[in-house]
A and B are shown apart, each in its own frame.
Chain A
Amino acid sequence: QKEVEQDPGPLSVPEGAIVSLNCTYSNSAFQYFMWYRQYSRKGPELLMYTYSSGNKEDGRFTAQVDKSSKYISLFIRDSQPSDSATYLCAMTGNTGGFKTIFGAGTRLFVKA
């Protein structure tokens, strides 16, 4: 079993839709949770950063962490074609060294 599971997609939605991206994980020591957006042939860009459980909102983006279920989500409201990219979840914690573990990435296509 991988430490972090993420459906690679692709996920295709119409413009304006609400997008839900998710990851599950197995290591309860993870405390810091990130979402990155990566456009083709570019480095990942940090979108959201959350510590422990709870919600965080930034513009059209909302990150949720449920540590009891070991489940994190990223919601994108009013999705735009420019949101088309690969979204990577990542997490780290004091697991005997702060090593960041990445999900496989979900490819998102937002159709105009």
Chain B
Amino acid sequence: GAVVSQHPSRVICKSGTSVKIECRSLDFQATTMFWYRQFPKQSLMLMATSNEGSKATYEQGVEKDKFLINHASLTLSTLTVTSAHPEDSSFYICSASSTNEKLFFGSGTQLSVL
């Protein structure tokens, strides 16, 4: 199957700092990438959809100025959590797709904001 690499796997930061998470498709070109948030024992919550070269589409209730998404190439998307606060602590996962039907996921990033 296709490989999606996500880094870092874990990050601890102080409140007020910004954190960048990278998502790369290693062996295919991802026309679309997705960012999710997942709380313990809950399912995936879609935050935003990004298409290469265009602005991301955010789901209702997701602050686009808080969660900056850049999809600069067909293999790389980044999520920046700006001015992070403890309530932003969560598990963030990206997925990528070259077609509309199959999604391949990164390994996730556990963000802890102190």
Contact = CB atoms under 8 A, between A and B. Distances in A.
Q: Report if A and B associate in a common complex.
A: yes
A105 B108 contact: no
Interface of A is mostly: strand
A46 B103 contact: yes
A61 interface: no
B81 to A, nearest CB: 18
Interface of B is mostly: loop
A43 interface: yes
A100 B110 CA distance: 23
Contacts of A41: 91, 108, 110
A41 B102 CA distance: 21
Interface size grouping (class) on chain B: 20 to 34
A75 interface: no
B107 interface: yes
A49 B1 CA distance: 11
Interface string B94-114: 010000111111111010000
Given A41-B91, A44-B44, A46-B1, A100 B103 contact: yes
B43 interface: yes
Interface of A: 32, 34, 36, 41-46, 49, 51, 88, 90, 92, 98, 100, 102-105, 107
Closest 9 CB pairs of A and B: A98-B100, A43-B105, A32-B101, A43-B108, A43-B107, A104-B43, A44-B105, A105-B43, A43-B93
